[in-house]
């Protein structure tokens, strides 16, 4: 019920009182304002004592005013994600779930009874990036609604595309960050930082860009299976466009399958199967969402980010696929060389004359070496092969950071993973972080500087 409050509700937007711009404080009198050293007039013998007292008061006001200006300036600068102290940034996670707002019109329109959605008790909104006063109440309500619907929880950030053209704004990307501020020696407080990142402009690829990316898609031996409507195919090419050839070449030959939903995980947007080197994209990836990744000029759709996430699994797991392929090659080499001695055929058992023993041993040693390499192979995320009940499986291989460079970087960032989904597994953290490295590198650098540095070193763009 708290939701249907009137626009004049004090509590819900007391924080939205427009602040004076830091350069235009109340005038302290032209004579004093124009002097860089107002205090020296106090000793001007030409002045009457009453005039001196008046000037002293004005100087005090000016001094106070300058302090206020500094405070305001500090407050205004504090409203960007980038300006939070590193300790606070390292606790923030990026929202990668779907973000929707069903009633944008009622939050902004002045024609209908406007809905004001309050922020949680004690939380305040701070605005930055040239947001006109006329949009602040509505944007605060957007924040309230995102928090209410759990799209935005404490210590998370999301960028959304809002078309406010009908309400005196424009189509812009806004970043909402709900953060617990914990100043040293001060009291903890909760703030919603609302940043206008800029006009969204044209999103997605142009027709010629799509053709160019389709050419790269084909060059890398990528194929599509299943039904890919044009808009979804465009999102797939948008993801391909984000990745340099140096990242795509190692995963040449990927198949992109399209299915309605994951057989066991209905929330999954996609999956990657290393045994068939196939990325499957589900309906979920294309669900309507206001979420964007990156900044205007380089904004990515949630679908493109989801596809990048899946491709990054393929990049991550490449060493494990290669180790498996080597083992299969060596096993096949022995089968081929000793085909005539296989008894019975297909049994993988061989009966051969002793003159062949040395050759058999050589080939068998190569298999043993490939098996050892398979055991030692590590994905970038630390994932590994493990024999479970006679079958080889890819496993996380313990949850500790260990000696793996990616895991160590993650631990050095404080241990809070960059998205909630990352908590599932190390390889999911890798894929989530990689997808942000590609689609929103600035935010990854600000939130998880060590993980960002890891990718810069290992996967230069
Ligand atoms: Zn994944």
**Interval 17-39 mean pLDDT:** 33
**Interval 317-337 mean pLDDT:** 96
The residue ranking higher by pLDDT, 325 or 110, is 325
Distance (Å) from CA 428 to ligand 1 centroid: 5
Distance (Å) from CA 272 to ligand 1 centroid: 7
CA distances from 389 to 349, 386, 393 (A): 21, 10, 10
Distance (Å) from CA 149 to ligand 1 centroid: 24
Distance (Å) from CA 292 to ligand 1 centroid: 19
Distance (Å) from CA 89 to ligand 1 centroid: 24
Residues 273-299 as b/e (b if ≥16 CB within 10 A, e otherwise) read: ebeebbbbbbebbbeebbbbbbbbeeb
- The answer to whether residue 349 scores a pLDDT higher than 80 is yes
The DSSP element (H or E) to which 281 belongs, if any, is strand 278-281
Residues 323, 344, 275, CA angle at the centre, nearest 5°?
25
Which residue stretches of 132-276 are H helix?
A: 133-148, 207-219, 230-242, 245-248
Distance (Å) from CA 424 to ligand 1 centroid: 9
Helix (H, G, I), strand (E, B) or coil at 150: coil
Banded pLDDT at 19 (limits 50, 70, 90): very low
Distance (Å) from CA 55 to ligand 1 centroid: 68
Q: What is the pLDDT of residue 185?
A: 84
Distance (Å) from CA 318 to ligand 1 centroid: 15
**Interval 426-448 mean pLDDT:** 97
Least confident of 66-70, 123-127, 218-222, 294-298: 66-70
Please report, for the chain, the start and end positions of each structural domain, with discontinuous segments joined by +.
80-199, 202-461
Distance (Å) from CA 78 to ligand 1 centroid: 34
Distance (Å) from CA 312 to ligand 1 centroid: 8
Q: What is residue 41's DSSP assignment?
A: G
Distance (Å) from CA 379 to ligand 1 centroid: 14
Each residue of 396-423: pLDDT tens digit? 887 666 679 999 999 999 989 999 999 9
Distance (Å) from CA 420 to ligand 1 centroid: 12
Q: What is the pLDDT of residue 57?
A: 58
Q: How far is Cα 179 from Cα 93, in angstroms, rounded to an integer?
A: 10
Distance (Å) from CA 287 to ligand 1 centroid: 17
- The answer to whether residue 172 scores a pLDDT higher than 50 is yes
User: Tokens 């190692």, residue?
Assistant: 250
Distance (Å) from CA 221 to ligand 1 centroid: 22
Distance (Å) from CA 259 to ligand 1 centroid: 16
Q: What is the pLDDT of residue 52?
A: 57
The CA dihedral of 243, 155, 447, 169, to the nearest 10 degrees, is 60
Distance (Å) from CA 263 to ligand 1 centroid: 15
Banded pLDDT at 109 (limits 50, 70, 90): confident
Distance (Å) from CA 53 to ligand 1 centroid: 71
Q: What is the pLDDT of residue 115?
A: 87
Distance (Å) from CA 217 to ligand 1 centroid: 21
Distance (Å) from CA 275 to ligand 1 centroid: 15
Banded pLDDT at 74 (limits 50, 70, 90): very low
- The answer to whether residue 43 scores a pLDDT higher than 90 is no
Distance (Å) from CA 313 to ligand 1 centroid: 7
The residue ranking higher by pLDDT, 268 or 15, is 268
Q: What is the pTM of this model?
A: 0.82
Q: How far is Cα 177 from Cα 19, in angstroms, rounded to an integer?
A: 20
**Mean pLDDT, the chain, whole residue set:** 85
Q: Which CATH class is domain 202-461?
A: alpha beta
Distance (Å) from CA 309 to ligand 1 centroid: 6
Q: What is residue 240's DSSP assignment?
A: H
Residues 6+ apart with CB under 8 A from 145: 101, 103, 107, 117
Distance (Å) from CA 314 to ligand 1 centroid: 10
If one counts every other C-beta atom within 10 angstroms of the C-beta of residue 10, the result is: 7
């Amino acid at each position: 019920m708290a939701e249907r409050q009137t626009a004049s509700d004090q509590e819900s937007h007391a924080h939205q009182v427009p602040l004076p711009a830091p350069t235009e404080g109340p005038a302290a009198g032209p004579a004093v304002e124009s002097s860089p050293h107002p205090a020296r007039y106090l000793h001007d013998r030409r002045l009457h004592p009453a005039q001196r007292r008046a000037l002293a008061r004005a100087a005090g006001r000016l001094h106070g005013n300058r302090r206020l200006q500094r405070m305001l300036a500090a407050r205004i600068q504090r409203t960007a994600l980038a300006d939070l102290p590193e300790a606070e940034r390292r606790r923030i996670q990026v929202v990668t779930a779907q973000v929707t707002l069903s009633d944008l019109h009622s939050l902004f329109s002045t024609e209908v009874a406007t809905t004001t959605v309050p922020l949680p008790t004690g939380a305040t909104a701070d605005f930055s990036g040239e947001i006109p006063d006329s949009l602040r109440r509505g944007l605060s309500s957007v924040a309230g609604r995102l928090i209410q619907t759990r799209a935005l929880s404490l210590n998370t950030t999301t960028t959304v595309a809002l078309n406010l053209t009908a309400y005196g704004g424009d189509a812009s990307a806004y970043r909402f960050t709900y953060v617990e501020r914990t100043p040293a020696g001060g009291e903890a407080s909760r703030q919603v930082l609302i940043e206008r990142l800029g006009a969204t402009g044209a999103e997605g690829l142009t027709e010629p860009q799509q053709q160019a990316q389709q050419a790269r898609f084909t060059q890398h031996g990528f194929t599509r299976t299943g039904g890919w409507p044009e808009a979804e195919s465009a999102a797939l090419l948008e993801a391909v466009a984000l990745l340099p050839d140096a990242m795509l070449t190692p995963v040449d030959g990927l198949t992109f399958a399209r299915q309605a939903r994951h057989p066991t995980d209905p929330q999954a947007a996609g999956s990657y199967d290393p045994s068939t080197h196939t990325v499957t994209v589900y309906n979920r990836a294309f669900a309507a969402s206001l979420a964007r990744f990156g900044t205007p000029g380089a904004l990515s759709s949630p679908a493109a980010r989801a596809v990048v996430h899946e491709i990054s699994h393929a990049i991550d797991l490449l060493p494990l696929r290669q180790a498996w392929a080597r083992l299969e090659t060596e096993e096949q080499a022995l089968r081929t060389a000793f085909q005539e001695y296989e008894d019975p055929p297909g049994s993988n058992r061989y009966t051969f004359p002793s003159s062949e023993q040395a050759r058999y041993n050589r080939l068998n040693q190569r298999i043993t070496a490939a098996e050892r390499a398979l055991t030692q192979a590590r994905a970038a995320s630390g994932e590994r092969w493990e024999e479970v009940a006679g079958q080889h499986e890819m496993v996380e291989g313990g949850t500790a950071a260990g000696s793996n460079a990616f895991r160590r970087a993650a631990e050095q960032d404080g241990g809070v993973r960059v998205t909630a989904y990352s908590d599932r597994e190390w390889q999911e953290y890798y894929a989530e972080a990689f997808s942000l490295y590609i689609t929103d590198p600035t935010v990854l650098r600000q939130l998880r500087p060590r993980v960002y540095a890891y990718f810069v070193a290992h996967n230069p763009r």
